[in-house]
Amino acid sequence: MSERVAVRKTYKLFIGGKFPRSESGRSYLVQDANVSLASRKDARDAVVAARAAVKGWAGATAYNRGQILYRAAEMLEGRREQFVALGVPGDEVDAAVDRWVWYAGWSDKLPQVYGGANPVAGPYFNLSSPEPTGVVAVVAPAAPALLGLVSVIAPAIVTGNTVVVAASPAAPLAAVTLAEVLATSDLPGGVVNILTGRLSETVPTLASHMDVNAIDLTGVADADLAADLEVKAAENLKRVLRPAPVDHDWFADPGITRMTALLETKTVWHPKGV
């Protein structure tokens, strides 16, 4: 009897809820796997998918978004061993599961914490509410591969944004495997899109893209590149999250600023009268 030949996994991009190869037909080798090398065109396609998903996702109820994020935690819990096999420490997987749960609970609480009635000096109803800014480009941190990724995706999407994530070139396998988690979590296609490959190819395209509303530079380690991306982002006044400090503790309580940085506050006035 010969030994069974294993079925290997193909690691592809995650765009619009589907797993396409790069339109460029290129790949690069990571941990013995051929990983898609996303092109600028792939980045633009991902923005189109993310934009198309905004209306449904931002328009979903907060309860529904919370349920779906919680479902992502359930799916991740079930795939714990897959991540461990990729080299992600078990306690990091646990922390990533817990982070999904933590953010899931914020969906229907942040609007109360961050918005509210304003006591204006006149006979007016006046209410401020947070709303998603729209399409967010995210540069994921290189490490921790899984927890870092979850910690930048969850706060962006829980409030109704959609994201195009440039995965760390050094850690694409965890990113694609996380895409498989999301694909089975009832998350509508296009809410999260993940590009693997070189940051130098995809991220400048995202930073200068006029249909992207915000960019999270957390994973950009090179200060000059970060400054250049921020300059590009100024063209349509994207909201910018600057790179995280190198000693950032990803296991600590993340606070709410990652969510609030990607929100707009809308204030509605109406006169009171009979």
Partner 1 sequence: MFEYAPAPESRSVVDIKPSYGLFIDGKFVDPTDGGSFKSINPASEEVLAEVAEGGAGDVDRAVRAARAAYEKVWGPMPGRDRAKYLFRIARIIQERSRELAVLESLDNGKPIKESRDVDLPLVAAHFFYYAGWADKLEHAGFGPNPRPLGVAAQVIPWNFPLLMLAWKIAPALAAGNTVVLKPAETTPLTALLFAEICQQADLPAGVVNIVTGAGETGRALVEHPGVDKVAFTGSTEVGRAIARAVAGTRKKLTLELGGKAANIVFDDAPIDQAVEGIVNGIFFNQGHVCCAGSRLLIQESVADRVLESLKRRMAQLRVGDPLDKNTDIGAINSAAQLARIRELSEAGSAEGAERWSPPCELPERGFWFAPTIFTGVTQAHRIAREEIFGPVLSVLTFRTPAEAVEKANNTPYGLSAGIWTDKGSRILWMADRLRAGVVWANTFNKFDPTSPFGGYKESGYGREGGRHGLEGYLNV
Binding-site ranges for partner 1 (CB under 8 A): 113-114, 118-122, 124, 126, 128, 133, 213, 223-224, 226-228, 230-231, 233-237, 239, 255, 257, 260, 264-271
Nearer to partner 1 among residue 63 and residue 269 (C-beta): 269
Instruction: Give 235: exposed, middle or buried? Use CB within 10 Å, 0-12, 13-18, 19+.
Output: exposed
Q: How far is the CB of 122 from partner 1 (least distance, A)?
A: 7
Taking residue 79's Cβ as centre, other Cβ atoms within 10 Å add up to: 17
Helix (H) or strand (E) holding 1: none
Backbone angles phi, psi at 83, to 5 degrees: -70, -40
Q: How far is the CB of 204 from partner 1 (least distance, A)?
A: 14
Indicate the SS3 state at residue 131. strand
Nearer to partner 1 among residue 170 and residue 252 (C-beta): 252
Q: How far is CA 159 from the centre of its chain?
A: 11
CA atoms within 13 A of residue 180's CA, in its CB half-sphere: 16
Nearer to partner 1 among residue 31 and residue 236 (C-beta): 236
Q: How far is the CB of 43 from partner 1 (least distance, A)?
A: 21
Contacts of residues 27-34 at CB distance under 8 Å and 24 or more positions apart, as own/partner, are 28/197, 30/170, 30/172, 30/173, 31/86, 31/87, 31/173, 33/8, 33/9, 33/173, 34/10
Q: How far is the CB of 245 from partner 1 (least distance, A)?
A: 11
Nearer to partner 1 among residue 95 and residue 226 (C-beta): 226
Nearer to partner 1 among residue 85 and residue 268 (C-beta): 268
Q: How far is the CB of 68 from partner 1 (least distance, A)?
A: 20
- Looking at residue 102, the DSSP 8-state letter turns out to be H
